[in-house]
Amino acid sequence: MSTFDQDNKTGKNHTGVNANWPVKFLTATSIIGDDVLNEKDEKIGVIKDVMLDIRRGIIEYVVVESSGFLGFNDRLFALPFAVLKIKQSKKAFVIENGSELLKKAPGFDKAHWPETNSHNYAQAEGFWDISFMGPNAGSSF
């Protein structure tokens, strides 16, 4: 019996503790709550949610929450997953120029998430220079 078959039958990983190294697969629930850092390893936010396009079977965007002073003025951002780079040693994600990026990026209201209602979110498409948020971002999707 192969170790793969043994793994599936026993639920024990026979290929060592780092079988997913370098990281290739993560569950959505395992990254929700992970810190988002800038290039200086300073925390600039936290992954709040992962939005899936169920018709195409892809991650449409990742929701990052950036806290304001004492929890006031929290802002949510819809970021293309591609801007996040994993930093496994910190169990976090890094955004290059993240502090500056979040200062300029369009945020959204907690009650009106992009692609989940009819509210317009066209500024995100222009900001990211790609169409990643479907019809609510003004794309021809």
Q: What is the CA radius of gyration of the chain?
A: 18
Contact residues for 88 (Cβ-Cβ < 8 A; gap 6+): 21, 22, 23
The CA–CA distances, whole Å, from 88 to 41, 54, 97, 124 equal 12, 28, 19, 28
Phi, psi of 2 (to 5 degrees): -70, 160
Instruction: Look up residue 83 and give its DSSP letter.
Output: G
Which residue type, as a one-letter code, is found at position 29?
Answer: T
Distances (CA, A) of 50 to 30, 54, 77, 99, 125: 11, 12, 11, 21, 18
pLDDT in tens, the chain (141 residues): 676 677 677 777 666 666 666 677 788 898 999 999 999 999 999 999 998 888 888 888 899 998 765 555 678 898 888 889 999 888 899 999 888 888 888 887 777 766 654 334 445 555 665 555 544 433 332
The rounded distance, in Å, linking the Cα atoms of 67 and 73 is 7
Domains of the chain from N-terminus onward: 26-112 (2.30.30.240)
Q: What local confidence, expressed as pLDDT, does residue 134 receive? A: 46
Distance CA 21, CA 87 (A): 12
